[in-house]
Every structure is written in C-alpha cells, then in structure tokens.
Structure 1
Amino acid sequence: MNRKPIPLFILPLLFILVFSSACTQTPQPPFKVASNAWVGYKPLYLARNLGLYDDNRIKLIEMPSATDVFDLLHEGTVDAAAITLDEALSEIANGAELSIVLAFDFSNGADALLTQTDIKTLKGLRGKRIGVETSAVGAILVHSALKKAGLRPDEVDIIHLNADVHIKAFENKRVDAVTTFEPTKSALLALGANSVFDSSEIPGLIVDVLAVRNEALRSQAANIQLLIDGYFSALTHMQKQQSAKTTQGAASPKDALMVSDDGLYFLTRADNKKFLTGSPSQLQTRATELLELMNASNLLRKPVPLDGLANPIFVSGSQP
C-alpha cells in the first residue's frame, strides 16, 4: 500500500497539538494528611516550616479535634490521618482499607484524666460527670481508670465533649472531670485541676500512627516517602535542640533523643523499623491487645483483620 507523505504545513499543527496535550495534563493532587493539635505531630509541621515539604505535593490539614480528623478520614476527604492506633482499628472495622506506615509516639503521661480541685482521688469520681471525647483514647483512659478505682461504668456519668471545648467545659464546671491531652492538659493543671490518672499507667496502649488509605499507597508512593523522610529530618532537628539543652542537666543526651517534656516517647526511624516489621510485628501485637480492650468496652462493631496492617516500606526508605 502506498502511503502519501504528510504535507509540510501540517507538521507544525501536529507539534502544537501534542505539546498542548502534554501541558494540559492534570497534575497529581497533593498527598493530604489530617491531624489535630497533638504535640506528638509537631515534627510534621516543623518539617513544613523548615521547607522540607513541597506545598504542591504535601498538604497538612490541622483540625480542632481527633473526632474531626476521624470524620475527614471516614469521608475520604484526606489520603491519610495522624490518629491513634485504636482509632485506625475502629475505622478499619467500619470498612476502611488502611495501612500503618509510621508510628509517631507512645503516650507516656501526655493523656490524662483530670478532676476539679475538690476531687483528689479516682474513687472520688463515683457519681461524677466525666467529659470524654468521642474516641477510643478517652474510652481507654476511663476504662483503665475506673478499673483501677474499682468503679463500674454505670457509677459515673459520661458526657461527650470535643477536645476544643475541654477547657471551657471544665472552667464552667459543666463536668467534674475530663480525659484530655497536651497542651490542654497543662492548661487545665495551671487552672488547678488534679491529675488522678494518666497514660504512663498503661504504657504502650496509646500509640499515635499515620494511617494511609491503601489506594494512596499506590498512587502517592513518592509523596508518602517525601512526607516520612521530612518527618524524620524534623525529628532529628528537634532532638538535637533538646540534646543541647539537656547536656548540662541531669538527663543524658541519649534519653533526650527519645522522651519529650510533654510525656511522649518519640519513635525514631530505627524504632519504626523494629515496630513495623516482623511476623507478627510489634504493631500487630499491640493492636491485638487494644482489640481485646476495645471489645470489652463495646467499641467495635465488627472484627478487625490485622494481616498486612503494618507497612514498613516507607520508614525503610525503600518505596518503589
């Protein structure tokens, strides 16, 4: 078959069409991550302030409360959320396909049950109103505190309060006690509140993680790697500053690298590799413990599969 040559005047038109098509391709949307104002997520925002994140690739969305963050993840508005492990398990139980790609910290006293000035002990909570955010962390704290005090759940009055109204509700004495976290915890203590129970008494149960939708693992792999690498760079920056401050003090620089003044144990990259790898991984073991407690508190509707929950690829720096 004879092929007729393309007329020369058409070639520039073809070039323009091809070039225009390439230029008008829709750019990839940024990787959207929601979090609340929890001190454990500080390195994420420090990374942004240090210029480690391209705004066209990473979008951090700070919400007033963990409940608001949970809602964004549930609605599919964001690709990932900085939440507690128990919250991630609740979302998976509701049908979400999530993977844990990073563990931020263990709460080591940063979450607490605080009471009004006249209530000095846990047993003093009998018949009192306890403000609790609609999340598993609050339920875990209350469940553990009541168990320690020998009180039944029906011996207290649970009032659901979002984190952004904890201070106001406490000041107005709408509640007799509240489960809260830093920085609200310190603010309430400054107002005269008593700390009668905190997360240091349930070590390792409250873990903050980055939960990512599985579809984003494939479509946003490079941006997830950028987020995590920037996070660890910012964490190292924070740790060096803290180490310099404590060199002359009682705490050793090694300890300063791990524990903050806010009752947190920050997990390094090396910690994360250990926590997310293995069969079962430490994360899976911790999740199993949490599921037992959550089931006992009627916090789950359906069973939660744990196989494949931990994804250590990004903390290892080996994403495809």
Structure 2
Amino acid sequence: NNIKIKLVRMDYMPSIEAFTTPSVDACVMTNMDCLTIPVAGGISCSAIIVGDYSNGNDALIVRNNLTIPQLKGKKVNLVQFSVSHYMLSRALDMNGMTDDDVKIINVSDSDIGPAFIANKDQEAVVTWNPLVMEIMKNPGVKKIFDSSQIPGEILDLMVVKTKVLQANPELGKALAGAWFEVMDIMSSRTDKGKGALEEMAKAGGSSLIEYQNQLKTTAMFYKASDAVTYTNSEEIKTNMRRVRNFCSKYELLGAGVKADDLGIKFSDGTVIGNQNKILFIYDAVYMQGASK
C-alpha cells in the first residue's frame, strides 16, 4: 500500500522512551507501561494489536518455603513500579494483604536475578522470564505465585500514536497484517516456523529451548480472530481498571492524577474515566481486518 515502515530493534525501556519522542510512531509494550510512560506524558495511544498476555512469565519466588502470608515484614526484591510490582500487589491483595505489609527493595532489572542467586539471605524476589527460569534452577527456591493466577492482566500490545494512526490508517493495516503473518509462521510446525523461532530466540539473547519455554508461559493470540474476541471482552475492561488503579495509587499517571482523570476507550466504544480526555484506545479494527 505504498507505506514504508522502518523497523528499529531496541532494548525494551529505551524503545518506549523513544516512542515518547516525535521520531517513533509505533512500539510494542505492556498495557501498564503504556499507561505510565506515553499516556502519563499526555500522548494519546491506540493499541491496535493485543498480542498476548503473561501466563506464568512473571513470578514471585521465595527461599525457606515461605508462604505469601509469611512475607509480612520481609524484604521483597523487585523493579519498583514495574509489572513485577503490580503482580506482587495482586498476590498480596488475594491474600488479604497490602504492599505496606512488606518491605519493597528496588533493584535494577539487570541485577535482580544474579543478586538473588548469589545472596542466599535474600528471601523473596519478583521478576520475569528468562530470569525466572534461571533462578528456578537453584536449590532451595520455590515459586509461590505467578502471572497465570492473574490471566489477561499483563498484556503485550502494539501501540501506535493515535494522531499518526488517524492520519495514516494504512499503517495500522500494514502492522496488523505483518504481525499475524508472523504469528502464522511461528505457530506452523514447519522448517520456516522453526527458523523464525530460532531468529527470535537469538534476538532475545536466549536459546531456542529457553525461548520455547517462555512461549509456554505466554498466552499467545496466534489468530487475529482470537485477539479480537479478547479485545472485545468484558474481562479486558475489568483488568484495565485494576492496572489503572494501581498506577494511580503510586502516582504513575502523573503527580496527583487520579484514575478517572484520563479516559480509556474500548473497542465497543465504552469509556472508563474521563470521556473528554481519552488517552488510551483499544482499536480492534486492524486485527479484524487481519482476521479476514
């Protein structure tokens, strides 16, 4: 369709930071990071592809056979205000506790795995794959909660700046078309499929086996029609409310910004929050196009 797309491979956080500048039009990120970075910065974002959700990729791991109630008063290592922090919050909530019941220790994502493995005094850590798999290889550790217990809450999305999408709807079509073409290849039991997985594993700095194990703890929407069904569900609204409320509690939407100060619009047109300040839009049109 005469549309030229320049793909740039970047590390995760730098890619989202680049998306907040005028030079980047689209980026893959989680629903929570979309809220706390571009949306919090006032950029209206359209999620045109719901790619997958974490279904065990994020985990709370302990030593000394600790249970969640036994974490009371203990230090928990994680990347503060990240998806890990959100998941810990949910795990505590499901056990009648709050974040105030534990001591959160903020650790960088590059140090968190090696530090926990090396320091046997650390009793609890929340992180994501492939670090979870690395930590679980060590004796005396136990996984006591993971993201499969909060399905659909940690989503991976293809996000496009709303004004760019409105001016260039062909961009949405091209991205969704290419995305689901790759999903087709990935999920095919062919040499081409294996080649694609090998390429992805290499790009992510892991072996093919490790990458395939990560896919097992990721609920992938390989078919566009399944992604559309999920995007149109009531479940996505409930989950977005939860994520938004967490972000608001920690002022991750901006200083003093309440959950209802900004609007999130869903594919059926319903809005939660401020109808006059919609900054996060789930747009299923392009996935629908790709499913035909």
TM-score of the superposition, structure 2-length normalised? 0.71
Q: Which of structures 1 and 2 has the bigger CA Rg?
A: 1
1:139 aligned residue:
85
Q: Distance in 2 between matches of 1:282 and 1:122?
A: 26
Q: Which residue type is aligned with residue 314 of structure 1?
A: Y
Q: Shift of residue 141 of structure 1?
A: 0.9
2:25 maps to 1:79: yes
Contact 2:64 2:123 in 1 (8 A): no
2:241 aligned residue:
288
1:6 aligned residue:
none
Contact 2:57 2:214 in 1 (8 A): no
Change beyond 3 A, Cα 1:68–1:220: same
1:262 aligned residue:
216
User: Which structure 2 residues correspond to residues 305-316 of structure 1 after superposition, within 5 A?
Assistant: 305-307=263-265, 309-316=281-288
Q: Which residue type is aligned with residue 262 of structure 2?
A: V
Gaps in structure 2 of 5+ consecutive residues = 195-212, 267-280
2:180 aligned residue:
232
1:272 aligned residue:
227
| Partner SS, residue 265 of structure 2 | coil
1:177 aligned residue:
124
Q: Distance in 2 between matches of 1:215 and 1:95?
A: 12
Q: Distance in 2 between matches of 1:225 and 1:72?
A: 22
TM-score of the superposition, structure 1-length normalised? 0.66
Q: Deviations over 1:119-176 (max 9, x none)?
A: 4322332333222224441222111122234444233221223323222221232843
Among 70, 84, 87, the residue aligned to 2:16 = 70
1:35 aligned residue:
none
1:95 aligned residue:
42
1:41 aligned residue:
none
1:167 aligned residue:
113
Q: Distance in 1 between matches of 2:22 and 2:236?
A: 24
Among 123, 148, 152, the residue aligned to 1:200 = 148
RMSD between superposed Cα atoms in Å: 3.2
User: Which structure 2 residues correspond to residues 118-157 of structure 1 after superposition, within 5 A?
Assistant: 118-157=64-103
Gaps in structure 1 of 5+ consecutive residues = 1-27, 31-55, 246-258
Q: Distance in 1 between matches of 2:158 and 2:52?
A: 10
Give the total of aligned pairs: 246
Contact 1:284 1:310 in 2 (8 A): no
Q: Which residue type is aligned with residue 266 of structure 1?
A: M
